[in-house]
Amino acid sequence: MKVLVTRALTRRVEETLAAEFDVTFRNRPEPMTLAEAQAALADYDAILPTLGDAFGTQAFAGPVKTRMIANFGVGYNHIDVEAARAKGVIVSNTPGAVTDATADLAMTLILMSARRAAEGERLVRTGQWTGWQPTQMLGLHVSGKRVGIIGMGRIGKAIARRCHYGFGMEVVFHNRSTVADPGVPARQVPLAEAMGADVVVVAVPGGPATRHLIGAAEIGAMQPHAHLVNIARGDVVDEAALIAALQARRIAGAGLDVYEREPEVPQALRDLDNVTLLPHLGTAAEEVRDDMGMMAVANLRAFRDGITPPNAL
Protein backbone atom coordinates (compact mmCIF):
# COMPACT_ATOMS: atom_id res chain seq x y z
CA MET A 1 0.00 0.00 0.00
CA LYS A 2 1.43 3.34 -1.12
CA VAL A 3 1.42 5.74 1.86
CA LEU A 4 2.39 9.41 2.19
CA VAL A 5 3.50 10.73 5.60
CA THR A 6 3.22 14.51 5.58
CA ARG A 7 5.56 15.44 8.45
CA ALA A 8 8.57 13.97 10.23
CA LEU A 9 7.58 11.53 12.97
CA THR A 10 9.58 9.81 15.73
CA ARG A 11 12.19 7.24 14.73
CA ARG A 12 10.18 4.30 16.06
CA VAL A 13 7.11 5.26 14.04
CA GLU A 14 9.01 5.98 10.83
CA GLU A 15 10.91 2.67 11.06
CA THR A 16 7.63 0.78 11.57
CA LEU A 17 6.00 2.51 8.61
CA ALA A 18 9.01 1.88 6.35
CA ALA A 19 9.00 -1.81 7.26
CA GLU A 20 5.29 -2.35 6.56
CA PHE A 21 4.32 -0.01 3.71
CA ASP A 22 5.56 1.54 0.47
CA VAL A 23 6.00 4.84 2.26
CA THR A 24 7.05 8.34 1.16
CA PHE A 25 8.19 10.72 3.90
CA ARG A 26 7.56 14.36 3.01
CA ASN A 27 9.64 15.46 6.04
CA ARG A 28 8.92 19.17 5.81
CA PRO A 29 7.90 21.25 8.85
CA GLU A 30 5.16 23.34 7.22
CA PRO A 31 1.61 22.06 6.66
CA MET A 32 0.62 20.77 3.23
CA THR A 33 -0.90 23.34 0.89
CA LEU A 34 -4.17 22.75 -0.93
CA ALA A 35 -2.28 21.94 -4.13
CA GLU A 36 -0.12 19.40 -2.30
CA ALA A 37 -3.17 17.82 -0.67
CA GLN A 38 -4.95 17.49 -4.03
CA ALA A 39 -1.87 15.92 -5.62
CA ALA A 40 -1.46 13.50 -2.70
CA LEU A 41 -5.10 12.41 -2.88
CA ALA A 42 -4.66 11.65 -6.57
CA ASP A 43 -1.43 9.65 -6.12
CA TYR A 44 -1.47 7.69 -2.83
CA ASP A 45 -3.53 4.81 -1.46
CA ALA A 46 -3.34 6.25 2.06
CA ILE A 47 -2.12 9.45 3.72
CA LEU A 48 -0.92 10.06 7.26
CA PRO A 49 -1.42 13.82 7.78
CA THR A 50 -1.52 16.03 10.84
CA LEU A 51 -2.56 19.44 12.16
CA GLY A 52 -2.92 22.12 9.50
CA ASP A 53 -2.58 19.94 6.41
CA ALA A 54 -5.12 21.29 3.92
CA PHE A 55 -7.59 18.43 3.51
CA GLY A 56 -10.65 20.66 3.52
CA THR A 57 -13.58 20.54 1.09
CA GLN A 58 -11.60 21.79 -1.91
CA ALA A 59 -8.96 19.09 -1.57
CA PHE A 60 -11.54 16.46 -2.52
CA ALA A 61 -12.86 18.32 -5.58
CA GLY A 62 -10.46 16.59 -7.97
CA PRO A 63 -9.58 12.94 -8.63
CA VAL A 64 -9.14 10.87 -5.46
CA LYS A 65 -7.19 7.62 -5.44
CA THR A 66 -6.74 7.67 -1.64
CA ARG A 67 -8.98 5.40 0.39
CA MET A 68 -7.61 6.05 3.90
CA ILE A 69 -6.55 9.19 5.80
CA ALA A 70 -4.98 8.15 9.11
CA ASN A 71 -4.72 11.45 10.96
CA PHE A 72 -1.88 11.90 13.45
CA GLY A 73 -3.68 13.58 16.36
CA VAL A 74 -7.06 13.53 18.03
CA GLY A 75 -8.16 16.81 16.43
CA TYR A 76 -9.15 16.66 12.77
CA ASN A 77 -10.68 20.05 11.96
CA HIS A 78 -8.17 20.34 9.08
CA ILE A 79 -9.96 17.43 7.37
CA ASP A 80 -13.45 17.66 5.87
CA VAL A 81 -14.64 14.24 7.00
CA GLU A 82 -17.94 14.45 5.12
CA ALA A 83 -16.20 15.40 1.87
CA ALA A 84 -13.82 12.49 2.40
CA ARG A 85 -16.67 10.04 2.99
CA ALA A 86 -18.41 11.26 -0.16
CA LYS A 87 -15.31 10.19 -2.08
CA GLY A 88 -15.14 6.82 -0.32
CA VAL A 89 -12.25 7.80 1.95
CA ILE A 90 -12.09 6.47 5.54
CA VAL A 91 -10.71 8.94 8.11
CA SER A 92 -9.28 7.95 11.50
CA ASN A 93 -7.62 9.77 14.39
CA THR A 94 -5.57 8.96 17.50
CA PRO A 95 -7.69 9.50 20.65
CA GLY A 96 -6.59 8.29 24.05
CA ALA A 97 -2.87 8.59 23.43
CA VAL A 98 -3.00 12.37 23.89
CA THR A 99 -5.20 12.56 26.99
CA ASP A 100 -2.79 12.68 29.92
CA ALA A 101 -0.12 14.73 28.16
CA THR A 102 -2.64 17.37 27.12
CA ALA A 103 -4.16 17.47 30.62
CA ASP A 104 -0.67 17.90 32.09
CA LEU A 105 -0.06 20.81 29.73
CA ALA A 106 -3.35 22.38 30.81
CA MET A 107 -2.15 22.29 34.41
CA THR A 108 1.15 23.83 33.33
CA LEU A 109 -0.71 26.74 31.75
CA ILE A 110 -3.07 27.12 34.71
CA LEU A 111 -0.14 27.50 37.09
CA MET A 112 1.98 29.61 34.75
CA SER A 113 -0.85 32.06 34.13
CA ALA A 114 -2.18 32.19 37.68
CA ARG A 115 1.28 32.62 39.22
CA ARG A 116 2.58 34.90 36.44
CA ALA A 117 5.49 32.53 35.80
CA ALA A 118 6.21 33.56 32.21
CA GLU A 119 6.20 37.23 33.19
CA GLY A 120 8.51 36.50 36.11
CA GLU A 121 10.89 34.48 33.96
CA ARG A 122 11.16 37.39 31.52
CA LEU A 123 11.83 39.74 34.44
CA VAL A 124 14.81 37.64 35.54
CA ARG A 125 16.17 37.09 32.01
CA THR A 126 16.11 40.81 31.20
CA GLY A 127 17.95 41.71 34.41
CA GLN A 128 15.03 43.76 35.76
CA TRP A 129 14.48 41.73 38.94
CA THR A 130 15.55 43.76 41.98
CA GLY A 131 14.99 41.10 44.64
CA TRP A 132 12.17 39.59 46.69
CA GLN A 133 9.45 41.92 47.94
CA PRO A 134 6.26 41.10 49.88
CA THR A 135 3.98 42.55 47.18
CA GLN A 136 5.97 41.64 44.08
CA MET A 137 4.03 39.99 41.21
CA LEU A 138 1.10 38.78 43.26
CA GLY A 139 -0.93 36.19 41.39
CA LEU A 140 -3.87 33.86 41.95
CA HIS A 141 -3.59 31.08 44.54
CA VAL A 142 -5.01 28.10 42.65
CA SER A 143 -5.58 25.63 45.49
CA GLY A 144 -9.20 25.50 46.57
CA LYS A 145 -10.48 27.70 43.77
CA ARG A 146 -13.23 26.87 41.27
CA VAL A 147 -12.31 25.59 37.82
CA GLY A 148 -14.74 25.75 34.92
CA ILE A 149 -14.02 23.14 32.25
CA ILE A 150 -15.54 23.69 28.82
CA GLY A 151 -15.82 20.24 27.26
CA MET A 152 -15.94 17.14 29.48
CA GLY A 153 -14.55 14.46 27.20
CA ARG A 154 -11.45 12.37 27.91
CA ILE A 155 -9.18 15.40 28.25
CA GLY A 156 -11.68 17.46 30.23
CA LYS A 157 -12.13 14.62 32.71
CA ALA A 158 -8.36 14.21 33.04
CA ILE A 159 -8.02 17.94 33.79
CA ALA A 160 -10.85 17.70 36.33
CA ARG A 161 -9.07 14.85 38.16
CA ARG A 162 -5.85 16.85 38.38
CA CYS A 163 -7.62 20.00 39.56
CA HIS A 164 -9.81 18.23 42.15
CA TYR A 165 -7.41 15.67 43.58
CA GLY A 166 -4.19 17.64 43.10
CA PHE A 167 -5.33 21.13 44.07
CA GLY A 168 -8.59 20.63 45.92
CA MET A 169 -10.46 22.70 43.34
CA GLU A 170 -14.22 22.77 42.98
CA VAL A 171 -15.13 21.55 39.49
CA VAL A 172 -17.94 22.87 37.34
CA PHE A 173 -18.19 22.07 33.66
CA HIS A 174 -20.14 22.77 30.51
CA ASN A 175 -20.75 20.10 27.90
CA ARG A 176 -23.13 19.96 24.93
CA SER A 177 -24.46 16.55 26.02
CA THR A 178 -25.19 15.31 29.53
CA VAL A 179 -22.21 13.70 31.26
CA ALA A 180 -23.46 10.99 33.63
CA ASP A 181 -20.10 10.35 35.30
CA PRO A 182 -17.50 13.14 35.18
CA GLY A 183 -15.14 11.03 37.32
CA VAL A 184 -14.91 13.54 40.17
CA PRO A 185 -17.41 15.49 42.29
CA ALA A 186 -18.56 18.08 39.74
CA ARG A 187 -21.58 20.03 38.54
CA GLN A 188 -22.67 20.37 34.92
CA VAL A 189 -23.73 23.98 34.38
CA PRO A 190 -24.65 26.38 31.57
CA LEU A 191 -21.74 27.91 29.65
CA ALA A 192 -22.08 31.34 31.26
CA GLU A 193 -21.85 29.84 34.75
CA ALA A 194 -18.77 27.79 33.85
CA MET A 195 -17.17 30.96 32.46
CA GLY A 196 -17.67 32.56 35.89
CA ALA A 197 -15.14 30.24 37.57
CA ASP A 198 -11.77 31.41 38.89
CA VAL A 199 -9.98 29.42 36.18
CA VAL A 200 -11.61 28.47 32.88
CA VAL A 201 -10.11 25.69 30.74
CA VAL A 202 -11.26 25.13 27.14
CA ALA A 203 -11.09 21.45 26.14
CA VAL A 204 -13.70 20.99 23.38
CA PRO A 205 -13.01 19.45 19.96
CA GLY A 206 -12.32 21.83 17.09
CA GLY A 207 -14.55 22.23 14.05
CA PRO A 208 -17.42 24.39 12.76
CA ALA A 209 -19.66 23.56 15.73
CA THR A 210 -17.21 25.04 18.25
CA ARG A 211 -15.63 27.88 16.25
CA HIS A 212 -15.71 31.02 18.43
CA LEU A 213 -17.65 29.15 21.11
CA ILE A 214 -15.77 31.44 23.50
CA GLY A 215 -16.45 34.93 22.18
CA ALA A 216 -16.76 38.42 23.61
CA ALA A 217 -19.96 37.63 25.54
CA GLU A 218 -18.47 34.49 27.12
CA ILE A 219 -15.23 36.25 28.04
CA GLY A 220 -17.37 39.06 29.40
CA ALA A 221 -18.89 36.58 31.85
CA MET A 222 -15.47 35.96 33.43
CA GLN A 223 -14.40 37.50 36.73
CA PRO A 224 -11.70 40.22 36.78
CA HIS A 225 -9.29 37.96 38.69
CA ALA A 226 -9.92 34.91 36.45
CA HIS A 227 -7.65 33.16 33.96
CA LEU A 228 -8.56 31.52 30.65
CA VAL A 229 -6.60 28.48 29.41
CA ASN A 230 -7.00 27.04 25.90
CA ILE A 231 -5.56 23.63 25.02
CA ALA A 232 -8.31 22.77 22.52
CA ARG A 233 -8.10 24.41 19.09
CA GLY A 234 -7.20 28.03 18.51
CA ASP A 235 -10.38 29.04 16.72
CA VAL A 236 -12.59 27.86 19.59
CA VAL A 237 -11.67 31.19 21.22
CA ASP A 238 -12.31 34.48 19.41
CA GLU A 239 -8.72 35.70 19.52
CA ALA A 240 -9.62 39.36 18.90
CA ALA A 241 -12.10 39.32 21.78
CA LEU A 242 -9.54 37.72 24.08
CA ILE A 243 -6.88 40.29 23.14
CA ALA A 244 -9.31 43.13 23.85
CA ALA A 245 -10.14 41.69 27.29
CA LEU A 246 -6.47 41.20 28.16
CA GLN A 247 -5.50 44.67 26.97
CA ALA A 248 -8.26 46.25 29.05
CA ARG A 249 -7.35 44.02 32.03
CA ARG A 250 -10.96 42.81 32.19
CA ILE A 251 -9.52 39.38 33.09
CA ALA A 252 -6.30 38.69 34.94
CA GLY A 253 -4.61 36.51 32.36
CA ALA A 254 -4.63 33.70 29.84
CA GLY A 255 -2.55 30.66 28.99
CA LEU A 256 -2.56 29.53 25.36
CA ASP A 257 -1.08 26.52 23.61
CA VAL A 258 -3.09 26.99 20.41
CA TYR A 259 -3.93 29.95 18.17
CA GLU A 260 -6.69 30.92 15.77
CA ARG A 261 -4.41 31.16 12.70
CA GLU A 262 -1.61 28.91 13.87
CA PRO A 263 1.35 29.29 13.59
CA GLU A 264 0.60 33.01 13.28
CA VAL A 265 0.45 34.66 16.69
CA PRO A 266 -0.75 38.29 16.55
CA GLN A 267 1.78 40.91 17.62
CA ALA A 268 -0.87 42.37 19.94
CA LEU A 269 -0.96 39.04 21.81
CA ARG A 270 2.83 38.75 21.95
CA ASP A 271 3.10 42.27 23.35
CA LEU A 272 0.98 41.45 26.41
CA ASP A 273 2.55 40.50 29.74
CA ASN A 274 -0.64 38.93 31.11
CA VAL A 275 -0.69 35.99 28.69
CA THR A 276 1.45 32.85 28.60
CA LEU A 277 2.17 31.66 25.05
CA LEU A 278 3.36 28.13 24.26
CA PRO A 279 4.10 26.65 20.79
CA HIS A 280 1.45 23.88 20.75
CA LEU A 281 3.26 21.64 23.23
CA GLY A 282 0.18 19.66 24.31
CA THR A 283 1.54 16.24 23.31
CA ALA A 284 5.21 17.16 22.94
CA ALA A 285 6.80 14.19 24.71
CA GLU A 286 8.55 11.48 22.70
CA GLU A 287 6.69 8.55 24.24
CA VAL A 288 3.37 10.30 23.62
CA ARG A 289 4.24 11.04 19.98
CA ASP A 290 5.35 7.39 19.68
CA ASP A 291 1.96 6.27 20.99
CA MET A 292 0.11 8.59 18.62
CA GLY A 293 2.14 7.40 15.67
CA MET A 294 1.69 3.73 16.49
CA MET A 295 -2.05 4.28 16.81
CA ALA A 296 -2.05 5.81 13.33
CA VAL A 297 -0.03 2.82 12.10
CA ALA A 298 -2.60 0.46 13.64
CA ASN A 299 -5.35 2.27 11.75
CA LEU A 300 -3.41 1.95 8.48
CA ARG A 301 -2.59 -1.69 9.15
CA ALA A 302 -6.23 -2.56 9.81
CA PHE A 303 -7.34 -0.83 6.62
CA ARG A 304 -4.67 -2.65 4.61
CA ASP A 305 -5.84 -5.96 6.03
CA GLY A 306 -9.50 -5.31 5.23
CA ILE A 307 -10.53 -4.59 8.82
CA THR A 308 -12.36 -1.49 10.01
CA PRO A 309 -9.69 0.79 11.55
CA PRO A 310 -10.05 0.87 15.35
CA ASN A 311 -10.30 4.68 15.40
CA ALA A 312 -12.32 5.31 12.26
CA LEU A 313 -14.47 8.43 12.55
pLDDT digits 0-9 by tens, 146-166: 999 999 999 999 999 999 999
Other CB atoms within a 10 A radius of the CB of residue 45 amount to: 17
Phi and psi dihedrals of 9, rounded to 5? -115, 180
Catalytic residue among 170, 211, 262, 304: 262
Q: For residue 233, indicate whether it is catalytic.
A: yes
Domains of the chain by start residue, with CATH: 2-97+285-304 (3.40.50.720), 99-277 (3.40.50.720)
Known catalytic residue: 280? yes
Instruction: Give per-10-residue mean pLDDT for the chain (313 aa).
Output: 96 97 94 96 97 94 96 91 96 92 97 97 95 95 98 96 98 96 97 98 91 97 98 95 98 97 94 97 94 96 96 94
Active site residue 227: no
233, 260, 289, 301: which is the annotated catalytic residue?
233
- Would you state the pLDDT for residue 270? 97
* Strands annotated E in the chain: 2-5, 22-25, 46-48, 68-70, 90-92, 146-150, 170-174, 186-188, 199-202, 227-230, 253-256, 275-277
Reported as a single tens digit per residue, the pLDDT across 78-110 is 999 999 999 999 999 998 888 999 999 999 999
Task: Exactly one of 67, 211, 225, 280 is catalytic; name it.
Answer: 280
